[in-house]
Structure 1
């Protein structure tokens, strides 16, 4: 999936986004509701490639992209949202109902990501083991820093619901912080070098010699 579709400057259309009655949106929403996230993301990607920038399509696409590319790809996901919210908001639809769509779409995206993270952790799945093994502290810290910008962008575009949406994102941050603590465990210190042991055999010989000398006198 091409994340570059949501990077850089996005062209502003006269009527951005899709109408809620558009059958293309209905098809994508049905796929997502049925758990067919890869398919929903692929159809959303095709519309984004046509220059149809709709926050609902963006969130469907970003979730599929994240599922495909793994935990570390959460950084380009957040960066893309920041680019949309902070630098390209006039290009984003749907018209007439944008705030509600933003609220519902971000809430859905954050909940889906958190649900996936918590599920894999609860099962101690191979994917969870992979996250533990491959996650790097620097990567996690970079995601958390980008999340601060994300909170600013949400507050700027939807101040009425910013507290609720950022609270959802904060749950993901807390999960990442917990993973960071597992990843950032201090290196085990090497045990101090043991003092050289006395030679027991030599000591026994010395004791016997002392006894013999004492008996001779």
Structure 2
């Protein structure tokens, strides 16, 4: 799930730009996919085994938001207008990359609205609506909301969402600062959302598979009893 999310993210950046159709770009995509797969697996193992109270999850989410905000302040002060800071050759660097297409829906519709309040409010409403629909569906299906992996996933996604809203409110755009292989630029928020969504999908798929298995066993037991 994590590697697939990364690949989709990179391909969305590569496909519209023919200048990126190079072995270096696709090598970067492959390296990133392996990295996301490995680190995503570690996140999954940690989240499933590490139970956390609501207070701990809130603290972790707040710390991630704070780290994203502080990192962007430092980048704005020390990197803005410069050539960036090379970390690993041409593959990984710190750069000041303002992303003005911070509303995915409007970007897809090719609509431009220059309003911080609008972008922030639309993100809050979309996140709220998605969360409400998701919770309603899972409640109806009898999902166990105390699942460790699910709780960690929510904390990660919430941290990313809050960071995105803060960018819209205070900057009017999303500031990406981690540049990878000349393909894509992202920030801590993007990592939180990628890991959170990947973890959530894994947990929900495992739960769905377990539910179907339980229903199959219950049906078999019922048939045996009737026999």
Whose radius of gyration is greater, 1 or 2?
Answer: 1
**Which protein is richer in strand relative to its size?**
2
Same fold (TM > 0.5): no
Give TM class, smaller chain: 0.3 to 0.5
Q: Which has the higher relative contact order, 1 or 2, with Cα contacts under 8 A spaced 6 or more apart?
A: 2
